Amino acid sequence: MDFTIPVLNNLDQGDTLAVKHPTYKVGVRRKAREVNIGGIKVGGNAPISVQTMTKTKTSDVEGTVRQIRQAADAGCDIIRVTVNDREAAEAIAEIVKQSPIPVVADIHFNHIFALKSIEANVAKVRLNPGNIGSKDRIRQVLTAAKERSIPIRIGVNSGSLEEDILEKHGYPTAEALFESAMRHVGICEEFGFNDVIISVKSTDVRLMIEAYRLVAERTDIPLHLGVTEAGPTKVGTIKSAVGIGTLLAEGIGDTIRVSLTDDPVKEIEVGKEILRSLSLASRNIELIACPTCGRLEVDLFGIMAQLEAKLEGIKKPVKIAVLGCVVNGPGEASEADIGIAAGKGVAILYRKGEVIKRVKESEIVQTILEEVEKFQPEQ
């Protein structure tokens, strides 16, 4: 990269820094077969969708629909609800009717709840066919799902592997997760059912990465990525970003769910941010700041806190960089759409690498807000 670091005082209005903006690409996307989840395509060339799960009692239709709407407003593409008891199975039809986004029924062992959910026209069922009992029950569920073109997600977790598989592999390994998932896929195929998605989740990030890589290498089945029970917001966000992010950067994954001990909206925000960090989703405001060091010349923490608050909710794909000194500031600031390189009491404003004007420290926040207002995203 070719760039110069100018001295703040020597910069004039209209000066341009010779900074090239390379475009980095993530790994070539694995080609998975395409599955349709209530109108949202997963796999193929479809954009990577973001999912979450409601945390209400499903029998509470009003509360569940409220949570679904909040998640949808935050950018959720697909929502999952548990259908874990008779009341939930009764409520699912009304939830599907009122939901603005496709609803997935999460079933564990009960084939009746699966059939009820399919009748209610859910967009997908999360179910492992080997867990619902006799061949006749499996046939009933798969036949009903096929008739309505409802796909099934086979969800394997390292914490609930079949006993014989655990015994064979000794402990949950990537091969064990793969074998378990393929066992359920095999049952579906036996009944002529191919409309499946796979997840092979674990709380162990290395294990889930390895297991997803195996499924990706050996099949063309679309993949739902997730680190299961990732934990409280901070730890869960980091684990999800590392696990899901690593796979996405390798071109693996078709839909994602971040699991946090937090509100579904938080899960969506983190999921969206993971996609944005790899340029797999359109950006909203992207706020960049230096970590600060002894060279800092302005109250950067105060400026960033004000900006975060004032820019919240603004949906414009604009990258803003605020840097605290003249050493690294100008180079970084000129790579953003709107950049500030601060000096002692005064800063330089950049617009797409071009020096626009000098700004007093007290005017930095207001100047950035005005620039955001004026900013025209490229079409």
Q: To the nearest whole angstrom, how small is the minimum distance from the Cβ of residue 300 to ligand SF4?
A: 7
Please report, for residues 112, 302, 336, the alpha-carbon distance to residue 307 in angstroms, rounded to integers and kept in the order given.
52, 9, 16
Q: Which is nearer to ligand SF4, 166 or 304 (CB)?
A: 304
Instruction: Give start and end residues of each alpha helix (H) in 148-256.
Output: 163-169, 174-190, 205-218, 233-249
Q: Which is nearer to ligand SF4, 205 or 321 (CB)?
A: 321
Q: To the nearest whole angstrom, how small is the minimum distance from the Cβ of residue 365 to ligand SF4?
A: 17
Written as one letter, the residue type at 291 is P
Based on the shown chain and the rule CB under 6 A, indicate whether residue 280 belongs to the binding site for ligand SF4.
no
Total of chain residues touching ligand SF4, rule CB under 6 A? 12
- Alpha-carbon distance of 148 to 122, in angstroms, equals 10
Q: To the nearest whole angstrom, how small is the minimum distance from the Cβ of residue 328 to ligand SF4?
A: 4
Minimal CA–CA distance to 318: which of 351, 294, 270? 351
β-strands 103-106, 124-126 pairing: parallel
Main-chain dihedrals φ then ψ at residue 253, nearest 5 degrees: 120, 140
- Alpha-carbon distance of 216 to 33, in angstroms, equals 11
The conformational region for residue 220 under phi > 0 = left, psi -120 to 50 = alpha, else beta, is alpha
Site map 310..329 versus ligand SF4, x via CB under 6 A:
-------------xxx-xxx
Site map 282..311 versus ligand SF4, x via CB under 6 A:
--------xxxx-xx---------------
Q: Which is nearer to ligand SF4, 112 or 296 (CB)?
A: 296
Site map 66..105 versus ligand SF4, x via CB under 6 A:
----------------------------------------
Q: To the nearest whole angstrom, how small is the minimum distance from the Cβ of residue 338 to ligand SF4?
A: 16
**Residues engaged in binding ligand SF4 (CB under 6 A):** 290-293, 295-296, 323-325, 327-329
